[in-house]
Amino acid sequence: MTRRAEPLRTCVGCRSRAAKSDLLRIVVERSATGEIRRLIPDLRGRMPGRGAHLHPDPECLALAERRRALGRALRVEGPLDLEPLREAVMTKRSLREGTKTMSAR
């Protein structure tokens, strides 16, 4: 075993700990006016700023949404656009499950 132990992060949805690489890092993208705040997935894990971690699982996203855990973790108030996140979760999930779900796109 030469592999180094991976850092653990807590999923904001189900609150369980998982290896960082198994979780999706989420950051806030602000519009120029600061009014529209979208939550976007940081797929390369390189975006600056505060991040939250979530399993790429629609259930975890739903949990986080219901408990408003994302806004809390990212220290933002008010409405958040979760659409980009929802898409990323669905995409990542279908990638994981293989080619079972064939997309026409």
* In the complex, least distance from residue 35 CB atom to Zn ion, rounded to whole angstroms: 30
Q: Which is nearer to Zn ion, 37 or 55 (CB)?
A: 55
* In the complex, least distance from residue 10 CB atom to Zn ion, rounded to whole angstroms: 9
Which residue matches tokens 């390369």? 44
The neighbouring-strand residues paired with 17 are 10
Contacts of 80 (CB under 8 A, 6+ apart): 28, 37, 38, 39, 70, 71
Which residue matches tokens 């609150």? 15
* In the complex, least distance from residue 18 CB atom to Zn ion, rounded to whole angstroms: 7
DSSP, res 100: S
Q: Which of 14, 47, 62, 90 binds Zn ion (CB under 5 A)?
A: 14
| Rounded Cα distance, 55 and 24, in Å | 6
Q: Which is nearer to Zn ion, 11 or 52 (CB)?
A: 11
Q: Which of 55, 56, 69, 71 binds Zn ion (CB under 5 A)?
A: 55
Q: Which is nearer to Zn ion, 30 or 67 (CB)?
A: 67
Q: Which of 27, 28, 60, 74 binds Zn ion (CB under 5 A)?
A: 60
| Rounded Cα distance, 71 and 65, in Å | 9
List contacts with Zn ion (CB under 5 A): 11, 13-14, 55, 60
